[in-house]
Amino acid sequence: MIDANDSASAPAPSSEIKDALRRETSSFVFAGIFSGAINLLYLSSPLYLMQIYNRVLVSENVTTLLLLTLILLIALATMGMLDAMRAQVLVRAGLRLDARLSTRVFGALIDSSAAQGYSRGAQQLARLDQFRTFITGPGVHFAFDLPWIPIYLLLLFLIDPLLGILATGGALSLLLLAMLNEKLTRPALTASEQAGNRAFGFSENILRHSDVVVAMGMRPAIEKHWRGDRDRMLVTQAIASDRNAVVSATIRFARLLLQALMLGTGAWLVIQGQILPATIFASSIILGRALVPVEQGVSTWKQFNEARSGYNEVQRLLSQKPAEADRTIVPAAANSISATEVAYAPTGATKPILRDVTFDIAAGQAVGIVGPSGSGKSTLARLLIGAIGPGEGVLRFGGMDYAKWDRTELGRQIGYLPQDVGLFAGTVRENIARFGEADTDTIIAAAKTAGIHEMIMELPKHYDTKLGPGGVGLSGGQKQRLGLARALLGQPKLLVLDEPNANLDAGGEEGLRKALERLKKTGTTIILITHRMNVLEVADKLLFVRAGRLEAQGIPDAVMTHIKQSVVPEMQGAA
């Protein structure tokens, strides 16, 4: 199921990487031109050798030797300069590719993780780096040199057809071996990569909750589970490496044999009087240059596979989360919410988490959402903040479908406090300011409303105190209040709080209730999801969700009466 938020998109997502590459066509053309000049200048060495043997040694003319040496020096210096320029052109093309694609990949990862409700990791960013590094680095040089193989072989044919036939047969044999290497190693590499990704993802998840592992003695079992995926990765990696080693050794043997046969054949041709002795060595140099792209291709086989896999992964991610087109910016005063027959199911799920949800929330109302655990309350909260879109039905904020809102503008009007507060590595100031450019007065006002200003002033560097990932350094209640301050930044028009008092003591709950009362007076629409009734005193209306359905809604007393009449008897019967 595709989120409604993704319905309005920019050009076809599957072409984003190709479009970025097409914009660098001129860079690749220049790199190709430089490669052509490099390959032409490489011929200066065999030509120099032939002139030394056939001309200088015969005439014993030192002036000719010096002149030829000077010409060779200029040719080799020019070749080196062009090689450096080619590398610089490709490096800059890589920087521009990263500028065009990395932000899109990062944003798509954020959207994808928000839609799924959990982190999917940042592996696609690393995969993008692998792809970019390969196609704009030394690994891709063989692709520029590959078209020159026929030209070098043609030169050998011109020297003598027998040398051309031998070189062509040898080059084809090496290419076939390289293709065999790819066929034999690719399945094992794919399996190794999949096992490695699983092990990495599992490790990341475990390290995030290492206190649970230590506290409950789970380490041996966890290590055994982690070791399984890692061992599968290492075994399949070893299989691929073994196969590659065998084929690579065969290629090296074939290459050395081919060069030896070229020398032997050249010697036979000299004996037959068909070529000059110097031509033997010149032919060997030309053959060596013709085989360079093949050897480069074999040596970079792993990087090539990683780059190809990275390209596919990144393209798949961008296809799932297309770039958003420009959307409507609506006046901030419109902050009513309505849902009409809304349903939501995660991608691949057969059963929806929410279905047939219909309600209206007037601007400035405080609404509590209650219900048993697993009933879909948090999913409804994520729908209300626009993190995910309904699969069916229509959800509106300010009278307009969420899918038509400008995402950044909508975010400025929303404050959200999830169950897992989600603080980030950075200063207290940055976390409250949502890592934006909020001024100090606005930040302090949000902190005071959340009742955390005094606590912040007791920290070593006050608002500039650095926090670790997830707010390491603060207690659970402090994290929750800091998350609330972030949600309250700039007096949002819509405030969605998911279990905001879970880690608060009685004083904290009272402070939260007073803050919500103040926000109500300013016209903020408030959505409260909680199991603890104290904070629901501010609610004008309750929504009761059970088993993915909105079972009751209305004034708090009426809904609570329904809950007591329907839920409590059921629980007693089950007992």
Q: Where do the structural domains in the chain lie, given as residue ranges?
A: 9-320, 337-574
The two domains 9-320 and 337-574 share their CATH topology (first three levels equal): no
Which residues 6+ apart lie within 8 Å of 283 measured at CB?
Answer: 46, 156, 159, 163, 262, 266
Query: How much is the pLDDT for 404?
Result: 82
From first to last of the 575 residues of the chain, give the pLDDT tens digit.
334 344 444 444 447 888 888 888 899 999 999 999 998 898 888 888 888 888 888 888 889 899 999 999 999 999 999 999 999 999 999 899 888 888 888 888 877 776 665 555 677 788 888 888 888 887 778 788 888 888 888 988 988 899 889 888 888 888 888 778 778 877 877 777 777 777 776 776 677 667 666 767 777 877 777 777 778 778 887 887 787 788 778 888 888 888 888 889 888 988 888 888 888 888 888 888 888 887 777 677 777 777 888 888 888 888 877 776 655 555 544 688 888 898 988 877 778 888 888 999 888 888 999 888 888 888 888 888 888 888 888 998 888 888 888 777 888 888 888 888 878 888 889 988 888 888 888 889 888 888 889 888 988 888 898 888 777 778 878 888 888 888 888 888 889 988 887 777 777 777 788 888 888 888 889 998 887 777 788 888 999 998 888 888 888 888 888 888 876 554 344 33
Rounded to whole angstroms, the Cα distance separating 344 from 5 reads 13
Residues 6+ apart with CB under 8 A from 94: 132, 133, 135, 136, 137
Instruction: For 357, list phi and psi in degrees, rounded to 5.
Output: -95, 120
Listed residue (453, 450, 455, 452) closest to 512, CA to CA: 450
Q: How many other CB atoms sit within 10 Å of the CB of residue 2? A: 13
Strand ranges for 301-385 from DSSP E: 337-344, 354-361, 366-370
pLDDT of 82: 93
The set of residues, in sequence order, having a beta carbon less than 8 Å from that of 554 and lying 6+ positions away, is: 541, 542
Q: What does the pLDDT read at residue 2?
A: 36
Q: What's the pTM? A: 0.68
Give the integer Cα–Cα distance in Å for 238 and 281: 40
Q: Measured between alpha carbons, how far is 59 from 179 in angstroms, rounded to an integer?
A: 49
Q: For the residues of 398-439, what is the DSSP string, one character each? A: TTEEGGGB-HHHHHHTEEEE-SS----SEEHHHHHTTTS---
Question: Among 418, 392, 376, which Cα is nearest to 545's?
Answer: 376
Give the residue from 376, 410, 371, 369 showing the smallest Cα distance to 494: 410
The predicted structure's pLDDT at residue 74: 94
pLDDT at position 3 is: 41
Structure tokens at 4: 């409604």
Two structure tokens written together for 294? 């093949």
What's the pLDDT score for residue 212? 66
CATH label, 9-320, candidates 3.30.1330.10, 3.40.1440.10, 1.20.1560.10, 3.30.360.30: 1.20.1560.10
Name the fold adopted by 337-574.
Rossmann fold (3.40.50)
Q: Which of 159, 146, 170 is nearest to 46 (CA)?
A: 159
pLDDT on residue 14: 45
Dihedral over Cα of 472, 476, 478, 484: its sign: positive
Half-sphere exposure in the Cβ direction for 509 (13 Å, CA): 15
